[in-house]
């Protein structure tokens, strides 16, 4: 399992991913899940992968091959991010059509998903979630984030804090806390954590970070977040129970 998320605000994008894969309690490995296919000054294209590792690695390899061989259609030639999303979806379908019968025969889950974020000149930045079937959705002002993988533990924080007007630095902090919350509750998600921040119309990635196991910043934000959550819990008013006169009389009679 893995956890990746993208956040889209009017200021740009934040994309983050863990690096753990889990094929059982005794088979835990680390693989890169955030990939940068940007052309500095020309276009920004960032991908995060989740699901069957052989399928996603095959898709990434196919994308790299098209760029290397300068195919007419590749990540660097398509004129819109929506067309990039469709192109990636077609790659996923092609690999699945080849491998799916053999994976199904051995009852291996072949599903995967990919987050695509970036900006192409003439467009605003955007964020897409490409499903295993090759279709996709995009983030909106009402829902400015998308997740793949082990999504449930880190979602409440995103729901309560993010809007389309959230500054990028705050969005990055929120992304890291969301991943840390997931790591706290699920052993299949873990460091190193990769995070990238992209500013609208810059067409350059100036902010990127890899946080490894035991990183002081990760330890600091976890300790602070847990103390703040506990303090907020302690400050919550007690439950205002309702008592009914009939219930009280009945209790007296029983006594």
Q: CB count, 10 Å around CB of 175?
A: 27
Query: Edge-to-edge strands of the sheet including 3-9?
Result: 145-149, 3-9, 12-17, 193-199, 207-211
Per the structure block, which two tokens stand in for 135?
């279709």
- Residue environment code for 44-83, b if the CB has 16+ CB neighbours within 10 A, otherwise e: bbbbbbbbbbebbebbbebbeebeeeeeeebbbebeebbe
pLDDT at residue 97 in the model: 86
Closest CA to 62 of 87, 79, 29, 39: 87
pLDDT at residue 229 in the model: 93
Partners of 207 in beta bridges: 197
pLDDT at residue 255 in the model: 56
Q: H or E stretch including 86? A: helix 81-105
* CATH code of the region 3-235: 3.60.20.10
pLDDT at residue 16 in the model: 97
Per the structure block, which two tokens stand in for 13?
């994008």
pLDDT at residue 98 in the model: 85
Per the structure block, which two tokens stand in for 172?
């990055």
Residue-by-residue pLDDT tens, the chain, 255 positions: 689 999 999 999 999 999 877 645 555 677 889 999 999 999 999 999 998 888 999 999 999 999 999 999 999 999 999 999 999 999 999 998 888 788 877 787 788 999 999 999 999 999 999 999 999 999 999 999 999 999 999 999 999 999 999 999 999 999 999 999 999 888 888 889 999 999 999 999 999 999 998 899 999 999 999 999 999 999 999 999 988 776 555 555 555
d(CA 106, CA 99): 11
């Amino acid at each position: 399992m893995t956890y990746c998320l993208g956040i889209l605000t009017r200021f740009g994008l934040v994309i983050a991913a863990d690096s753990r894969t889990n094929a059982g309690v005794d088979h835990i490995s680390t693989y890169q899940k955030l990939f940068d296919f940007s052309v500095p000054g020309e276009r920004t294209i960032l991908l995060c992968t989740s699901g069957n590792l052989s399928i996603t690695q095959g898709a990434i390899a196919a994308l790299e091959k098209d760029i290397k061989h300068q195919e007419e259609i590749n990540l660097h030639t398509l004129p819109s991010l929506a067309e990039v999303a469709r192109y990636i979806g077609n790659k996923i379908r092609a690999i699945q059509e080849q491998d799916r019968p053999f994976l199904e025969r051995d009852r291996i889950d072949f599903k995967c998903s990919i987050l695509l974020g970036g900006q192409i000149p003439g467009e605003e930045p955007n964020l897409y979630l490409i499903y295993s079937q090759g279709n996709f959705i995009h983030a909106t002002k009402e829902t400015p984030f998308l997740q793949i993988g082990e999504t449930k533990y880190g979602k409440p924080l995103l729901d309560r804090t993010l809007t389309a007007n959230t500054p990028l630095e705050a969005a990055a902090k929120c992304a890291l806390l969301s991943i840390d919350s997931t790591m706290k509750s699920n052993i299949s998600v873990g460091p190193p954590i990769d995070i990238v921040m992209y500013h609208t119309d810059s067409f350059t990635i100036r902010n990127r970070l890899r946080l490894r196991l035991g990183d002081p910043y990760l330890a600091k934000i976890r300790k602070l977040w847990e103390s703040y959550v506990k303090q907020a819990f302690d400050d919550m008013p007690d439950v205002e129970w309702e008592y009914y006169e009939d219930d009280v009389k009945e209790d007296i009679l029983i006594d």
